[in-house]
Chains A and B, each alone.
Chain A
Amino acid sequence: MAQAALKDTSVKEFEKKQEWWWAAEKKRSKRLDYLRKAIWKKGAIGGLYAPGVKVDLERAQLHTQKAKEMEMSPDAYVIKFAKMFAHILDNKTIFITDHAQLVGYTGSLPHTMGWDPSAASILNEEAFNDPTAIPDPVDVNQKVIREINNYWIGKTDLDKMMPVFDMEDLMKMLSGSIGWGVPLARGGYSSKDYEYIMTGKRAFAAIIDELDRKIDEVDEEVHQPGANAEISKAYDKLNNWDAMKITLEAGIRIAKRYARLARIIAENFEEDPKRKEELLKIAQTCERVPAHPPRNLQESFQYDIFIQMMSRTEAIEGAWPSRPDYYHGPYYDKDVNIDKTLTREEALDLVGEFIIRAAEVCQFKPKWTREGLQGIDGTWVWTIGGVDRNGKDACNDLTVALMQAARLVRVANPTLSFRWHPKVKDEVMREIFECNRQGLGYPNMRNDPILVANTMHWYGHPIEEARLWANQACLSPCPTTKHGFQPMRMANATANCAKIIEYVFTSGFDPVVNMQVGAETPDVATFKNFEEFFAAWTLQMQTIFSILVRAVNRARTLAPTMTPRPFLSGVSERSIESGLDTLDPSIERGNSWITAFTWVENVDSLAAVKKLVFEDKKYTLAQLKEALAKNWEGLEEMRLDFVKNAPKWGNDDDYVDDIMLRCLDEAAKFSKVLKDPSGNNWPILPENVSGNIHYANIVGALPNGRRLGDALYDGGISPGPGLDKKGPTAVLKSCGKIDHITGGRAFLLNQRLSPTQLAGEKGYQLWSSYIRTWADLGIDHIQFNMVDDATLRSAQKDPEKYQEVIVRVAGYSAHFVDVSRKTQDNIIQRTVQGLG
């Protein structure tokens, strides 16, 4: 919008027109406005990065330089790896943006994406082959990339691990038909032991002292007269502790580099006295953390940012599990309410900047990840609200400030996820509603009592720990505790579940990748009844899940030695105590799950087969098999019969809802047969991110009437777009039939609501009543799009004018203009539910 028009239009006028993004721009402080506009948009658009965003060669060069230097070193691998990490932190370019109060970024410059060349050669080749992301001059830098890539061939994590995987499973998984991602411990994402490092009791210096004590004690023990198995293991522990220490010391040094830069700017360049004061505050902050525990809100945020930056130097992280109001809230309270060293407005600026610092984070990722996460770099879902370990309401002033700041900065990532429970105050609920009404698509709602019970049911986390859960990526809760926290999640335990039903018709042969992937079940035309058909479905489900889980389990077993994480171990109590890498399954309780993409297609397809084939006998399985093989071509009447005349999920129809329950029951039973290396279960979690679009050309025609290429359903348990004909309560009733504690890990439900209907106090009351029904039905999740069709269609026609419109895609939000046309259409097609 032209500046003059922006100036002449009041906030109220923008709000009346529901142009929340312009209203926010007028309402936020000059600092927040500058910092918000300073963000380089890093989420890929249609799989490609935006112009100007470049791969960070500096980090890759530093990493490679140190690796080469240490090739002949006798150090253990974990020590070498820690030294590479330290070399990067000691030598990377750092920067401080004008007006910023918080510092630290994953790349070397604001427009760069951190590139870790040690993860996988397939990723490195993508860097080489993507000239739009290579810094200028492209021809020169392509040669630099070639040299880096040549060095790492055969040495990256994935290159080293591939030969020790089961090759048949690996090929099926990497075919891209049933899974998503690769089994790498440094290529998924990690939670943190926040109860150890984020409660103000200790920080890096104290941990280093503890490590020194451990090293001295064990070093002395192993040199006493005697020899046994424990002593043999102790050498590995000593190496791990040494490596942790190297990374933590490097973490303190880079913070001091930031402190020094802030002082240099203040003393040599800055003329504005207020800004000089801010720079000196940055210097004091970075001299304090991460070496010592934070004392105020700025230090607490800075400490968190440093830990995230270091974790993202050690590994490629595709999510951001955290609980910011719970761990930073006490500092907000101290500064704003007790000491009054910050006004609410000043605090809101800091909170907004904390969100912005996360929004700009990006690491170079492979194209399949970019396509599956359109418009964002990863799912930075921050958990807020909920209860404390004693079950008391944990909402605080920062819970509210985070939502207020989110409305001002309006970023699509991070998003907020609210742990609802019966004791949440009305003022907090109103903030949640306002964020959603203003079109952010977040916070989503999580049913805390249900999810605490679910976390205990599936993994046996004790109740006091289960109550401390944070979302791992989009939806999966996990405690932030010593033995509960999850040190890594490998995204390849993500199943493209529509293949389950597809393989029933192809006897497990995948026509897209032209190989036998699923089980060789009998020719579908020979099945005499629905029970035989369902038995084949169950076997295909078990086969696909097993292939994916076996690969993760193998990678996880190898991870502590082949892909260790000394920094993450250095901030994990269990590793400090035991000397084991934090990835070691023996010291984690286990919190694995299978993300079930494209799940509901199975339910609608099974219902269609049961009804039209076995009950109405309108078609034979042989006819249906042929129709699907021909992608329904020339058979439109038959296809529409399967679309219109078979029951569909989401209409409170027991016929099809019972099939959903039966499918989930089979999956839940098998979830307990599958075990992770910690000995715990593998429940399923139906959701999609953008997988419903990514897989559109990979999944063939299905009995629900879908054709090859059509977008798949968008949610985990959302009805198909436009197929929920009976209104919002019927959707909730269908979803409420699922046992959200024992039926699976979590279930993603997308709903679209009308922003016009939800205006004003009446709108809030309607929404509150809807949420009460949702909670009473025991549904674990719900999220909303509240942007009307007119705005979305206008944004399609004139994207430049609607750059800031945000939509809820699946487990995350994105700017509408940053997702593909197919995804845009899919969002518009979702039924707008009228409440009341």
Chain B
Amino acid sequence: MTTCKECKSFFPLENDQTKGDCVQRVKDPRQAYYQSRPAKADDDAGACGSFQKKQKT
């Protein structure tokens, strides 16, 4: 299963790596912004249209 922690947009919390935020760049007709919503590292990202595989470092 593909999970959120494998995604570029997932930023884990420092004190709890199982939780984090899904941060994405959005451009709407009037403005550009970054949005953030809470996510869990092991959430299923299989159906997520914004999923982008994190590059291995």
Chain A residues at the B interface, C-beta cutoff of 8 Å = 34, 37-40, 52, 90-98, 109-111, 257, 260-261, 264-265, 268-269
Contact = CB atoms under 8 A, between A and B. Distances in A.
* Interface pairs A-B: 8 shortest CB-CB: A38-B31, A95-B35, A93-B37, A261-B36, A97-B33, A95-B33, A98-B32, A265-B34
A109 B37 CA distance: 11
Interface in B27-48: 28-38
B11 A91 contact: no
18 contacts: A39-B30, A90-B38, A92-B37, A93-B36, A93-B37, A94-B37, A95-B26, A95-B35, A96-B33, A97-B33, A98-B31, A109-B35, A110-B33, A111-B28, A260-B21, A261-B23, A261-B34, A264-B34
A91 B23 contact: no
Contacts of A34: 31
A110 B28 contact: yes
A380 B11 CA distance: 37
Given A260-B21, A261-B21, A264-B21, A40 B36 contact: no
Contacts of B56: none
Interface in B1-40: 11, 21, 23, 25-26, 28-38
A37 B25 contact: no
Interface residues of B, number: 16
Given A95-B33, A109-B28, A260-B21, 15 more contacts: A95-B26, A95-B34, A97-B31, A98-B31, A98-B33, A110-B28, A110-B30, A110-B31, A257-B21, A257-B36, A261-B23, A264-B11, A264-B23, A264-B34, A268-B11
Contacts of B21: 257, 260-261, 264
Contacts of A95: 26, 33-36
Contacts of A261: 21, 23, 34, 36
> What is the predominant secondary structure among interface residues of chain B facing chain A?
strand
B29 A52 contact: yes
Nearest to B22: A93
Contacts, number: 59
Interface of B: 11, 21, 23, 25-26, 28-38
A110 B45 CA distance: 25
Contacts of B35: 93-95, 109
Nearest to A111: B28
Contacts of B23: 261, 264-265, 268
A776 B31 CA distance: 48
A265 B21 CA distance: 12
A94 B36 CA distance: 5
Contacts of A92: 37
A257 B23 CA distance: 11
Contacts of A110: 28, 30-31, 33
A92 B38 CA distance: 8
A297 B49 CA distance: 41
Given A261-B21, A264-B21, A97 B32 contact: yes
Among B11, B30, B31, B37, residue most surrounded by chain A Cβ atoms (within 10 Å):
B31
A265 B11 CA distance: 11
A476 to B, nearest CB: 34
A820 to B, nearest CB: 24
A92 B32 CA distance: 19
Contacts of A52: 29
A264 B24 CA distance: 11
A340 to B, nearest CB: 32
A264 B39 CA distance: 15
Given A38-B31, A97-B31, A98-B31, A264 B36 contact: yes
B19 to A, nearest CB: 11
Nearest to B14: A260
